[in-house]
Chain A
Amino acid sequence: NAGVTQTPKFQVLKTGQSMTLQCAQDMNHEYMSWYRQDPGMGLRLIHYSVGAGITDQGEVPNGYNVSRSTTEDFPLRLLSAAPSQTSVYFCASSLSTYSSTDTQYFGPGTRLTVL
C-alpha cells in the first residue's frame, strides 16, 4: 500500500492563478479531508468527504473547492490563489466516518507559495 499520496510536493503560484492539489489513497477509506497548516500553527480543516459524491465544509473553506468522484481521490481546487493561501496542505483519510476510534492517515503534504 502506498497509503496517502499527494502531488505536487511544492508549488509556486502567482496571485489569481488557479490550481488543483491532488490526493489519493489506496486503503479503501471512506473518509478523506484536507487541512492547511500555516507556519508555526496547528492544522485547520478545509473540507472533508464521507464518501464518493459527498463533501462538506470544515473550518476554513473559503477560496477552495473539492469534489469526490471516486473513493480513492479527493482533489482540492484553489479557484483564484491569494497570498493568504500560502501554506502547507495535508490530505488525510480514515476508514469510516462514524467512529472516533478511527485513525487518520496523513499524506506528506504540499508546500504552496502564492506570490
Chain B
Amino acid sequence: LAKTTQPISMDSYEGQEVNITCSHNNIATNDYITWYQQFPSQGPRFIIQGYKTKVTNEVASLFIPADRKSSTLSLPRVSLSDTAVYYCLVGEPPSGTYKYIFGTGTRLKVLA
C-alpha cells in the first residue's frame, strides 16, 4: 500500500504562509499526488494535484522534489477560513483498480 505520513496538527497566525509536508516513500511511478481540504461537518474537497516540480492554482501551491518521496502544500497568507484538515493522497501501486486511502490528515488551526 502506498502510505502517506503527515503532521497531525499545525497552528498558524493570519497572514502567514503555511507549509504542510507529506511523506510518501512508496509512491508508484505513475501516481499523482492530490491534496484535499475538509472543513468541519463537510466532506473533503479537492484543492490541488501534481506529479513533479511545482504546481500553483488560485488556492495553493504544491512542491514536489525530484525523487517524489514527499510533497509540500503551501498556503499563502492564511486566513481564519483556512482552518481545516488537509489530506495528502497518493494511489496504491499499479494493480488495476484504484483505492483512495486517506491518512489522518493535518489539522490546521489559524489564529487571529
User: Once the chains bind, are B98 and A106 in contact (CB under 8 Å)?
Assistant: no
A90 within 8 A of B: yes
Whether A108 contacts B100 in the complex (CB less than 8 A), given A100-B31, A100-B32, comes out as no
User: Once the chains bind, are A35 and B34 in contact (CB under 8 Å)?
Assistant: no
Q: Which residues of A93-115 have CB atoms within 8 Å of chain B's CB atoms?
A: 94, 97-101, 103-104, 106-109
User: Once the chains bind, are A100 and B30 in contact (CB under 8 Å)?
Assistant: yes
Whether A58 contacts B99 in the complex (CB less than 8 A), given A42-B104, A107-B43, comes out as yes
Number of interface residues of A (CB under 8 A): 28
| Number of A-B residue pairs having CB atoms within 8 Å of each other in the complex | 66
A52 within 8 A of B: no
Whether A45 contacts B100 in the complex (CB less than 8 A), given A92-B43, A106-B45, comes out as yes
Having A43-B44, A45-B99, A106-B45, one finds 7 other A-B pairs with CB under 8 Å, namely: A42-B85, A45-B102, A90-B43, A97-B98, A98-B96, A101-B32, A109-B41
Chain A residues in contact with chain B, CB under 8 A? 4, 31, 33, 35, 41-45, 48, 50, 56, 58-59, 90, 92, 94, 97-101, 103-104, 106-109
Q: List 25 A-B residue pairs with CB atoms under 8 Å apart, sorted by A's residue number.
A: A31-B98, A33-B100, A42-B85, A43-B44, A43-B105, A44-B102, A45-B102, A48-B100, A50-B97, A50-B98, A58-B99, A59-B101, A94-B100, A100-B90, A100-B98, A101-B49, A103-B34, A103-B46, A103-B49, A104-B44, A104-B46, A104-B100, A106-B43, A107-B43, A109-B41
Chain B residues in contact with chain A, CB under 8 A? 30-32, 34, 36, 41-46, 49, 85, 87, 90-91, 96-105
